[in-house]
Amino acid sequence: MDYKFSSGIASLKPSIIREILKSSGNTIPLAAGNPAPDAFPVDDIKKIVNDVLENQPILALQYGISEGYAPLVETLSTLAKERYGAYGENDKLIVTSGAQQVMSLACHCLINHGDCIICEEPAFIGALNCFRSHGARLVGVPLEKDGMNLEILEEKLKTEENVKFIYTIPNFQNPAGSTMSFEKRKAVYELAKKYGVLILEDNPYGDLRVSGESVPAIKSLDTEGLVIYSGSFSKIVAPGVRVGFVVANEKLIAKFTVAKQTQDVHTPLISQLIVYKWLTEFDFEAHINKIRDIYRRKLNLLCDCLDKEVGSFFDYQRPEGGLFVWAKLPDGVDMLEFVKKASAAGVSVVPGNAFLCDGDAPCDYVRLNFSTPSDEDIVKGVKILGEVAKTY
Amino acid sequence: MDYKFSSGIASLKPSIIREILKSSGNTIPLAAGNPAPDAFPVDDIKKIVNDVLENQPILALQYGISEGYAPLVETLSTLAKERYGAYGENDKLIVTSGAQQVMSLACHCLINHGDCIICEEPAFIGALNCFRSHGARLVGVPLEKDGMNLEILEEKLKTEENVKFIYTIPNFQNPAGSTMSFEKRKAVYELAKKYGVLILEDNPYGDLRVSGESVPAIKSLDTEGLVIYSGSFSKIVAPGVRVGFVVANEKLIAKFTVAKQTQDVHTPLISQLIVYKWLTEFDFEAHINKIRDIYRRKLNLLCDCLDKEVGSFFDYQRPEGGLFVWAKLPDGVDMLEFVKKASAAGVSVVPGNAFLCDGDAPCDYVRLNFSTPSDEDIVKGVKILGEVAKTY
């Protein structure tokens, strides 16, 4: 049988990162992006699940509604409003199967084949592939140290047809590690308003700030119902539970709910109950402080090692949080060759072109991660990178 | 903001069943479709989850791969081959977030806006809405007591453009309760082959046979890689865990895997581990026999009550399994009026037009469910239906 795939899926390639991780075997995984396992509240989750299956087994095992477990929706709505400044007057919230599903729902509900999505460049590969799989046309706007280049953003908004939304991770961006300044958040919002375009504000790392001052969400500026705000518990509880949420104008959420129903009916109740009880019965602020300490230590360890072992070979900005460091190689160094040399020497890093709208475009960056490897492996891995750098 | 939705989503209405259930308040829920809670292996699941969180907490809480937990994929592949006859030579299997996600993946990977899907008529509303949400054009083929009308199926295959697949629930169809004969399964497969069209074989109820002989899966005939086979644990373990699977030719599964990655990254590991350990460490055959006993009792209770209380007012075929009875009203009775009268009298049933490709087409059927209501409520509910019937 000669299969005829949908136009979006037909052109999609498997994730470069997955392929690298598959072929990188026993190398030190600076290419990964998993949260640190010692950041998972294992004991809390054990207690919660025991309690739930003892006292509410049918609730946990029966079908639920697509919007999510009602008490969790209420708790998250309050959290979105009070903690994240991300819940406006005409907004609603639904629970999603991870923040990835928010991207999927946004495409499902908003994208016709050929519609345009404006992305920060570089951008999260899981988002780019989701957008591509729906046949969206991706247009990149270069990311600077404090967010998107505003002139190019406006130029694209002016010239590109059928722009449906601007996709951004304003806090500790994946892969760039950068945080958008409040001035740029305001400017991006004003441009979206001017050109009648939505913003998909993806905030999976917001709670992982390890230094500096937090910046209000773009959603906090949203008086027009333009911002779709996506939150995740993958980094502050655990990714395996697959719980995220989306806040947006109630008209958008009505369609997202219908779309979610067609995708997976609802997010598993056990997962939802873990997050609900963790938020309401445990000291989650204390836990977030604990994981911030873990990530602060690991981020600084990676960066201190880089400064010591790799020196000026890497040009990078120390991030104020998140999981990633985005490092530029010296002019004239072939990035893919460097990645292969590093892998052969025992360290995997991600080639930066994986994060571009056009994955075949030239790129002299690599992405490094500090949450997955052990402290010992960070030290060893960066030493190896230093040795590879010296061959140039 | 004037939101512009994707063409598939723009035209989609919320599920009629959900609306009925919302407005049916305290009525007896013969309109529902939830599995019976006493069919959930609560004690097994408690033991499994305790064991997993005690001994493999990081496995259960960390990111997993999109294909599913490898030992579960292997176990399910063997099960699909040996128990369901649904795994061919060039096939692969991935774990999905319920069988609903199989429909979502099939549309995501195969449907461009305007492509045609041939559906049994009536058909499962969750499938119809999924197909509609991707902009598919739905073409119905009337369902007879032993499956689709083959002449009309061939006529549609001949005349409709861009038919991507035929959607069928061959065992204890939702809503019709009917089972496709082996002769028709062979004929449908041959027609699909002749016209170069795929088949989406959805089998959520296959294990819920309460009488008669089981019929081999269409997938068991599949020498050409035409059949996408969808299985579910919602009815034999519990729907709240949201675990299903799909078997298809490896080329299709490669695309489904990429699409799944963009939808929800992977199915929660706790859910996958529950199903894995339940299949490998517990006596699932004994459990399936137990739930068959429950459903046999409830199915026969509903049908016996219908025969006694409603008599010839309902024309229906006693199903050999599944969860539903599809009952035709006498000529001249206004179906929607009957549903409203029943609801006002205290029993909710689903108006049959919810299951048609064109939801506005005339329909003189209602769907009844026997798994959700208690035995007592079945008796009471049917008595009320009988009283409503007498008003005609």
pLDDT digits (tens, 9 = 90+) for B115-136: 999 999 999 999 999 999 999 9
Q: Could you tell me what percent of chain A has a pLDDT over 70?
A: 97
Mean pLDDT of A134-161: 98
* Entry pTM: 0.96
Burial of A267 per CB tally in 10 Å (0-12, 13-18, 19+): buried
Indicate whether B304 and B262 sit together in one domain.
no
Taking only the tens place, the pLDDT of each residue in A283-335 is 999 999 999 999 999 999 999 999 999 999 999 999 999 999 999 999 999 99
Does pLDDT of A144 surpass 70? yes
pLDDT band of B311, cuts 50, 70, 90: very high
Does pLDDT of B323 surpass 70? yes
Nearest CA in chain B to A235: B62
User: Which pLDDT belongs to residue A17?
Assistant: 64
Per-residue 3-state assignment (H helix, E strand, C coil) for chain B: CCCCCCHHHHCCCCCHHHHHHHHCCCCEECCCCCCCHHHCCHHHHHHHHHHHHHHCHHHHHCCCCCCCCHHHHHHHHHHHHHCCCCCCCCEEEEEECCCHHHHHHHHHHHCCCCCEEEEEECCCHHHHHHHHHCCCEEEEEEEECCEECHHHHHHHHHHCCCEEEEEECCCCCCCCCCCCCHHHHHHHHHHHHHHCCEEEEECCCHHHECCCCCCCCHHHHCCCCCEEEEEECCCCCCHHHCCEEEEEEHHHHHHHHHHHHHHHCCCCHHHHHHHHHHHHHCCHHHHHHHHHHHHHHHHHHHHHHHHHHHHHHCECCCCCECCEEEEECCCCCCHHHHHHHHHHHCEECEEHHHHCCCCCCCCCEEEEECCCCCHHHHHHHHHHHHHHHHCC
pLDDT band of A272, cuts 50, 70, 90: very high
CB contact under 8 A, A1 and B225: yes
Mean pLDDT of B249-268: 97
Does pLDDT of B23 surpass 70? no
Contact B267/B68 with Cβ under 8 angstroms?
A: yes
CB contact under 8 A, A262 and B54: no
More confident residue, A13 or B189: B189
Among candidate residues A304, A370, A355, A364, the one with its CA nearest the CA of residue A330: A364
pLDDT band of A37, cuts 50, 70, 90: confident
pLDDT band of A248, cuts 50, 70, 90: very high
Contact B241/A242 with Cβ under 8 angstroms?
A: no
Scanning the structure block, which residue is given the tokens 């999260």?
A124
Q: Is A383 helix (H, G, I), strand (E, B) or coil?
A: helix
Indicate whether A152 and A231 sit together in one domain.
yes
Is A226 an interface residue toward B (CB < 8 Å)?
A: yes
Is A60 an interface residue toward B (CB < 8 Å)?
A: yes
Residue A61 lies in a domain: yes
Q: Supply B283's token pair.
A: 């006596």
Does pLDDT of B105 surpass 70? yes
Residue B383 lies in a domain: yes
Contact A39/A294 with Cβ under 8 angstroms?
A: yes
Query: Average pLDDT over chain A, rounded to whole?
Result: 95
Q: Is A379 helix (H, G, I), strand (E, B) or coil?
A: helix
Residue A262: give the domain boundaries: 42-281
Is A55 an interface residue toward B (CB < 8 Å)?
A: no
Indicate whether B261 and B295 sit together in one domain.
no
Taking only the tens place, the pLDDT of each residue in A329-361 is 999 999 999 999 999 999 999 999 999 999 889
Lowest mean pLDDT among A135-144, A195-204, A234-243: A234-243
Indicate whether A245 and A323 sit together in one domain.
no
Task: Choose among B7, B164, B255: nearest Cβ to A9.
Answer: B255
User: Which pLDDT belongs to residue B90?
Assistant: 97
Contact B148/B196 with Cβ under 8 angstroms?
A: no
Task: Choose among A6, A18, A258: nearest Cβ to B110.
Answer: A6
User: Which pLDDT belongs to residue B18?
Assistant: 64
Residues of A in contact with B249 (CB under 8 A): 1, 3
Residue B14 lies in a domain: yes
User: Which pLDDT belongs to residue B33?
Assistant: 87
Indicate whether A74 and A88 sit together in one domain.
yes
Q: Do you find a cis peptide bond into A239, omega within 30 degrees of 0? A: no
Taking only the tens place, the pLDDT of each residue in A55-98 is 999 999 999 999 999 999 999 999 999 999 999 999 999 999 99
User: Which pLDDT belongs to residue A38?
Assistant: 87
User: Which pLDDT belongs to residue B17?
Assistant: 65
Indicate whether A266 and A350 sit together in one domain.
no
CB contact under 8 A, B1 and A224: yes
User: Which pLDDT belongs to residue A129?
Assistant: 95
User: Which pLDDT belongs to residue B13?
Assistant: 72
Residue B2 lies in a domain: no
Indicate whether B165 and B230 sit together in one domain.
yes
Indicate whether A242 and A356 sit together in one domain.
no
The residue from B224, B249, B281 where one domain ends is B281
CATH at residue B361? 3.90.1150.10
User: Which pLDDT belongs to residue B1?
Assistant: 86
Residues 6 or more apart whose CB falls under 8 angstroms from that of B70 comprise none
CATH at residue A269? 3.40.640.10
User: Which pLDDT belongs to residue B359?
Assistant: 87
Residue A358 lies in a domain: yes
Indicate whether A105 and A156 sit together in one domain.
yes
CB contact under 8 A, B129 and A240: no
CA distance B391 to chain A (A): 35
Is B327 an interface residue toward A (CB < 8 Å)?
A: no
Taking only the tens place, the pLDDT of each residue in B186-242 is 999 999 999 999 999 999 999 999 999 999 999 999 999 999 999 999 999 999 999
Residue A1 lies in a domain: no
Q: Could you tell me what percent of chain B has a pLDDT over 90?
A: 91
Does pLDDT of B15 surpass 80? no
User: Which pLDDT belongs to residue A390?
Assistant: 97
Residue A211 lies in a domain: yes
Q: Is A166 helix (H, G, I), strand (E, B) or coil?
A: strand
Is A6 an interface residue toward B (CB < 8 Å)?
A: yes
Total number of domains constituting chain B: 2
User: Which pLDDT belongs to residue B228?
Assistant: 98
Mean pLDDT of A230-236: 94
Does pLDDT of B19 surpass 70? no
Indicate whether B349 and B337 sit together in one domain.
yes
Nearest CA in chain A to B51: A46
Indicate whether B91 and B238 sit together in one domain.
yes
Query: Average pLDDT over chain B, rounded to whole?
Result: 95
The residue from A230, A246, A281 where one domain ends is A281
Indicate whether B275 and B307 sit together in one domain.
no
Taking only the tens place, the pLDDT of each residue in B327-357 is 999 999 999 999 999 999 999 999 999 999 9
CA distance B22 to chain A (A): 11
Put the strands of the sheet holding A365-369 in their side by side order: A324-328, A365-369, A350-351
Residue A257 lies in a domain: yes
Task: Choose among B15, B53, B126: nearest Cβ to A46.
Answer: B53
The residue from B216, B247, B281 where one domain ends is B281
CB contact under 8 A, B263 and A34: no
User: Which pLDDT belongs to residue A15?
Assistant: 63
Q: Which of residues 242-301 of B touch A (CB under 8 A)?
A: 242, 249, 251-252, 254-255, 257-259, 261-271
Nearest CA in chain A to B54: A46
